[in-house]
Amino acid sequence: MRRSDVVAAEAVSVLNGAMAALRDIWEEIGIPEEMRLERMETVKGHIKEMLDLMVAEEESLKQRLLKNIALFQKEIDRLCMELQLDPFEGEKENTILQLDKNLRNRMDVLLQQKAERMRELKTLLEQDQDLCDLLCTSPFCIDGNAVPSLDDLDRYRQHLAFLNAEKEQRQEEFVSSKRQIILLMEELDHTPDTSFEQEVVCEDEEAFCLSRDNITALQDLLKQLEAQRSQNEAVCEELRSRIIALWDRLQVPVEEREASAVHMAGCGAKTRKALQLEVENLEELKLQNMKDVIQAIRAEMAAYWDKCFYSQEQREGFAPYNDENYTEALLELHEAEVGKMKTIYETHKDLFEAVQKWEENWKMFLELERKATDPSRFTNRGGKLLKEEKQRAKLQKVLSKLQEELESRVQAWEQEHEGMFLVKGQQVMAYVSEQWQLYHLEKEKEKQERQLKKRRQIEAEMLYGSTPRTPIKRRMLGTTTPGKARKLNGSSIAGATPNSTVGSGLGK
């Protein structure tokens, strides 16, 4: 039995005891039966009124609980919809009071979740607004008055993480570019004149708007300054080259050169101005020493003609070379010609160097050939003849290899440029062949001279008898038999005859 049932039974017992006590009192007093009935009705009315009131109060409590349950359920349904959660369903076995408590607790939890989401949404909105103001981007598309879902908040966090990363990247790019811009402006002696340049250089880094347009403008400014520096570097380098060229032509002493502005580093406005002033001074000095300058340029021009293997006809094609009227116009013609020769040489430097290498080895080969025809070479000691023969053999191989390489490179050049590569007014291989032909003609001429000399010597012997090779020694040492003298002469001539076929295979 429940305790409430026991208490109810006790209440009934108390009521019965009270009624019995009232009846006993009424009987002792002697109250008539009718009056007893009246009094009993009064007691009954009081008891009923009191109980009815109590029942009404409890019924009212029940109705309030049921109303609260309905309100809580409605609020919970609305919160679940706002929070995008599944509908809440309470346990049907619960009593009204327990259901009221459960729904109230659930509603409090949902209200707390809503408040937390709205607080986080507010924080994210503030962060988003700050980043959007700094980066000049559009805010995240979300309703600031509606309760966001967990997925919405997660996407919002990811969006803000991306914006923060973008902010850090742009901030780093801005700081780096600003540092370079300041250095370039200092180097170029450039004063910020536009509002954007002043904003970049003068204002606080935190106040700079990191919009994409501003970052692009920042990069454009950096590129503009770098281009200006490159242009200044090129101008300064050209001025330095011009100064050095003028020094060489004017033969300026070393001590004066060392004190000149050409040694100033950098490419700022001051450096450029100093270099320009130095050039102007040297140009003025050049005008005062026009003849010496033009002659110096002519020496430089002749050197380039030699490097480019210009023929005499090609050299004579530049008529101002022999003009003795030393004027500024004549200087300009010479400078233009030297510039053209420099361009030709630098453009085809590899081929010119290849021809030069062949010609140097060719001259060495001719020198060894000359030594081979010198009768005094047989008086040398210490293996010099053997060394020269080995060198001649090596040079023959080197010349053959160089000639093959040169021919291959010239052919490739002529195919690429669809023209002829000339050396001393003729094609390279024609020039090489001509050198071999001249060499063979010279060898043939030497051979004929030796044969002519030998015939004359034989004719002299036949007419006058044996002729002594060294008459003085003969007078000192006495006479020698004619047979021995002839034998000695014959062996000497044969031994001095060079190999006329050396290098013939290279000239073919």
Asked if 265 and 236 count as a contact pair (C-beta separation under 8 A), the reply is: no
Q: What SS3 class is residue 383?
A: coil
Among 79, 111, 143, the domain boundary falls at: 111
Q: Which two tokens stand for residue 232?
A: 């200044």
Does residue 491 share a domain with residue 388? yes
Does residue 482 share a domain with residue 356? yes
| Phi/psi-derived region of residue 266, left when phi > 0, alpha when psi is between -120 and 50, beta in every other case | left
Is the residue at 226 inside a domain?
yes
Is the residue at 16 inside a domain?
yes
Share of the chain above pLDDT 70, in %: 85
What is the C-alpha separation between 503 and 508, in angstroms, rounded?
9
Does residue 169 share a domain with residue 28? no
Asked if 250 and 286 count as a contact pair (C-beta separation under 8 A), the reply is: yes
pLDDT: which is higher, 488 or 242: 242
pTM of the model: 0.45
- The answer to which of 237-251, 371-385, 453-467, 478-492 has the lowest mean pLDDT is 478-492
What is the C-alpha separation between 469 and 460, in angstroms, rounded?
13
pLDDT digits (tens, 9 = 90+) for 326-335: 888 888 899 8
We report the CATH number of the domain holding residue 434 as 1.20.58.1520
Is the residue at 481 inside a domain?
yes
Does residue 80 share a domain with residue 105? yes
According to the per-residue pLDDT averaged within each range, which of 36-50, 238-252, 488-502 is highest?
36-50
- The answer to which of 16-30, 113-127, 281-295 has the lowest mean pLDDT is 281-295
Does the pLDDT value for residue 301 go beyond 60? Answer: yes
Whole-number pLDDT of residue 402: 81
Does residue 30 share a domain with residue 166? no
pLDDT digits (tens, 9 = 90+) for 115-153: 998 998 899 888 888 888 777 788 888 887 788 888 888
Does residue 422 share a domain with residue 456? yes
Q: Which two tokens stand for residue 13?
A: 């017992």
Does the pLDDT value for residue 497 go beyond 60? Answer: no
Does the pLDDT value for residue 272 go beyond 90? Answer: no
Residue-by-residue DSSP string for 431-487: HHHHHHHHHHHHHHHHHHHHHHHHHHHHHHHHHH----SSHHHHHHH----HHHHHH
Does residue 356 share a domain with residue 224? no
Does residue 498 share a domain with residue 406? yes
> Taking the CB of residue 398, how many other CB atoms lie within 10 A of it?
17
Is the residue at 154 inside a domain?
yes
- Domain ranges, residue 493: 349-508
Share of the chain above pLDDT 90, in %: 6
Does residue 99 share a domain with residue 129? no
Is the residue at 313 inside a domain?
no
What is the C-alpha separation between 266 and 272, in angstroms, rounded?
9
Among 193, 209, 231, the domain boundary falls at: 231
Whole-number pLDDT of residue 93: 63
Does residue 181 share a domain with residue 76? no
What is the C-alpha separation between 406 and 24, in angstroms, rounded?
154
Q: Which two tokens stand for residue 121?
A: 């949404």
Indicate the average pLDDT of the chain: 79
pLDDT digits (tens, 9 = 90+) for 51-66: 899 999 999 998 998 8
Does residue 157 share a domain with residue 99? no
What is the C-alpha separation between 72 and 61, in angstroms, rounded?
16
Whole-number pLDDT of residue 482: 42
Does residue 135 share a domain with residue 104? no
Q: How many domains does the chain have?
A: 3
Range 285-293 average pLDDT:
82
Range 432-458 average pLDDT:
83
| Phi/psi-derived region of residue 30, left when phi > 0, alpha when psi is between -120 and 50, beta in every other case | left
Range 408-415 average pLDDT:
80
How many whole angstroms from its chain centre is CA 170?
Answer: 19
Among 196, 231, 266, the domain boundary falls at: 231
Is the residue at 341 inside a domain?
no
Q: Which two tokens stand for residue 368?
A: 């060894």
Please report, as a single letter, which amino acid is at residue 96: I
**Nearest Cα to 458, choosing from 447, 446, 466?**
466
Residue-by-residue DSSP string for 242-307: HHHHHHHHHT--HHHHHTSGGG--S--HHHHHHHHHHHHHHHHHHHHTHHHHHHHHHHHHHHHHHH
Is the residue at 260 inside a domain?
no
First to last CA, the chain: 138
What is the C-alpha separation between 359 and 332, in angstroms, rounded?
33
Does the pLDDT value for residue 345 go beyond 70? Answer: yes
Is the residue at 308 inside a domain?
no
